[in-house]
């Protein structure tokens, strides 16, 4: 009996120390953990992250050759609206990945956008309070990529939005022919996708 008590006294501290130092399983593997850290999402992440992928088309496309990168000649603009229709603050992470940057093609297949970590100006973290809204337009996208004064050559990119809460996201696309004859405006609502993280508590 004395031996059993001695064994129990030895075992309990060991178990308590082990349980205290054992890292909690967040359901995130090392590769995912690394990617989250690169784009600024905390580890462990929220149980669910809502994601949005928005196409950005900005600037002026010129040229008369048979193969013009990205779009036909014209003037293009994109404005993205982000609204938090929740009664709590939403933590939001955004990053921009250019496909065509100031007229230069940077990610035509088989080439890909550079992987994270992104340049500091190319990603950002912000908090959107309950029922508040914000927007990103071509001026903001240019600031996050390659700021330039004057008329901007064609830029096509993907704006990725990750949020701790589900948001209302829409994009307004405007296009003009180079001769200024007519204008096209289109509004698209961007559906959310869910990234879920789970694991034993």
Q: What does the pLDDT look like over 74-95, one tens digit per residue?
A: 999 999 999 999 999 999 999 9
What separation, in Å, do the N-terminal and C-terminal C-alpha atoms of the chain show?
36
> Taking all residues of the chain, what is their mean pLDDT, rounded to a whole number?
84
CB 176 within 8 A of CB 183: yes
190 has pLDDT over 80: yes
Least confident residue range of 22-26, 53-57, 116-120, 152-156: 22-26
67 has pLDDT over 90: no
Question: Which tops the pLDDT comparison, 180 or 133?
Answer: 133
* 131: Cβ contacts below 8 Å, ≥ 6 apart: 83, 84, 85, 86, 87
The reported pLDDT for the residue numbered 200 is: 45
4 has pLDDT over 60: no
Beta bridge partners of 105: 100
Mean pLDDT for the stretch of residues 149-153: 79
What letter does residue 153 receive in the DSSP assignment?
Answer: B
* 178: Cβ contacts below 8 Å, ≥ 6 apart: 60, 62, 73, 74, 75
The reported pLDDT for the residue numbered 130 is: 98
């Amino acid at each position: 009996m004395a031996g059993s008590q001695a064994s129990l006294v030895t075992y309990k501290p060991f178990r308590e120390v082990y349980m205290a130092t054992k890292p909690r399983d967040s359901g995130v593997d090392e590769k995912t953990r690394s990617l989250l850290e690169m784009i600024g999402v905390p580890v462990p992440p929220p149980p669910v992250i809502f994601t949005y992928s928005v196409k950005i088309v900005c600037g002026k496309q010129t040229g008369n050759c048979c193969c013009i990168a990205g779009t036909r000649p014209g003037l293009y603009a994109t404005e993205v609206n982000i609204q938090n229709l929740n009664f709590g603050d939403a933590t939001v992470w955004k990053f921009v990945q250019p496909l065509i940057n100031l007229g230069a093609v940077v990610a035509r297949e088989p080439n890909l956008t550079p992987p994270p970590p992104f340049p500091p100006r190319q990603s950002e973290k912000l908090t959107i309070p309950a029922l508040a809204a914000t927007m990103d337009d071509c001026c903001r996208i240019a600031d996050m990529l390659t700021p330039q004064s004057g008329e901007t050559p064609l830029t096509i990119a993907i704006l990725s939005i990750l949020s701790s809460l589900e948001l209302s996201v829409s994009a307004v696309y405007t296009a003009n022919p180079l001769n200024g004859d007519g204008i096209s405006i289109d509004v698209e609502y961007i559906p959310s996708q869910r990234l879920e993280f789970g694991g034993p508590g």
